[in-house]
Amino acid sequence: MIPTATIDTLEDCFRALSALGADLTEAEWKTATDLPGWSVQDNLSHLVAIERMMEGLPATAHRAESRAYVHNPIGESNEHEVDSRRGLTGAEVLAEWNDIVARRVATLRAGDDAYFDQPAMTPTGPGTLADFLHIRILDCWLHEQDMRRAVHTPGNLSGPGAEHTIDRLIRTVPIVVGKRAGTPDGGAVVIDITGGVSRHIVCEVQAGRASLVAAPSAAPLAEITLDVETFVVLATGRRTAAAVPVTIVGDQELGSKILSAFNMMI
């Protein structure tokens, strides 16, 4: 089945990144982001490399020097691609981005069922190309937000890309609330996200298993309120709870445990 809605949302993310980049100065391109060692330009360089891979184009032969923030083979591969473009201007990386995403959109719009059903190894395990595209939305939108925070240009915190990303991240809330924070059996926690993407999340532990439910069986042990940007930086490990505005009502210790274990990225 052709994932038309996914393609539409991904193209929207592509265009948002292009529009953001078009307004950046060279100094802003070189500004550090929340990702260790990566500038605004590096974030887009990373996305360029992934879309080139998706299009079947060869990876760089360049090899970056070892860096303390690189911890695994995937990180090494990412760093090779990013470092290979550090000698370019931001405008040059943006031009490469605009070229590759134009090719990607043309390929995706021309794809048939067999194209999207082909097996693919995704960051979350084996799947199909359609599954990988679902994750590409999250990756593109998150890196756009990394870039925006660095240059103090908030935006695109609502709409299809934002909603898609928040809802994917919410899937991991039961692991955070149950396994990591150790919420007791029978206990429930409410997390309210406010702002561009509003979500009322209720997670309850029953028979040793945490799951998302429509409403708690009893008064929640803790209620956590945070805006959409705060949810994103915590859920992706960009910042710690001590560095962002969060409100906890009820069991402060449990709420703090949840927030300290909030990083949902693999």
Distance, in Å, from the CA atom of 203 to the CA atom of 190, rounded to the nearest integer, reads 6
pLDDT for position 122: 86
pLDDT for position 143: 98
Vertex 204 angle, CA 198 and 205, to 5°: 150
Distance, in Å, from the CA atom of 178 to the CA atom of 19, rounded to the nearest integer, reads 40
| Entry pTM | 0.94
Vertex 183 angle, CA 181 and 189, to 5°: 100
With 0-12 CB in 10 A as exposed, 13-18 as middle and 19+ as buried, what is 55? middle
Q: How far is CA 213 from the centre of its chain?
A: 24
Distance, in Å, from the CA atom of 256 to the CA atom of 100, rounded to the nearest integer, reads 43
Domains of the chain: 4-151 (1.20.120.450), 166-260 (3.30.1050.10)
**Average pLDDT, consecutive stretches of 10 residues, N- to C-terminus, the chain (266 residues):** 96 98 98 97 98 96 92 91 98 98 98 96 90 96 98 97 97 96 97 97 97 97 97 96 94 97 83
Residue 101 is which amino acid? V
pLDDT for position 264: 85
Rama region for 250: left / alpha / beta (φ>0; ψ in -120 to 50; rest): left
Distance, in Å, from the CA atom of 30 to the CA atom of 74, rounded to the nearest integer, reads 23
Q: Are 220 and 254 in contact (CB under 8 A)?
A: no
DSSP class of residue 64 equals P
With 0-12 CB in 10 A as exposed, 13-18 as middle and 19+ as buried, what is 1? exposed
Distance, in Å, from the CA atom of 120 to the CA atom of 131, rounded to the nearest integer, reads 8
Q: How many residues does the chain have?
A: 266
- Taking each helix axis as running N to C, give the angle between helix 160-170 and helix 129-150, from 0 to 180 degrees, rounded to the nearest 10: 110
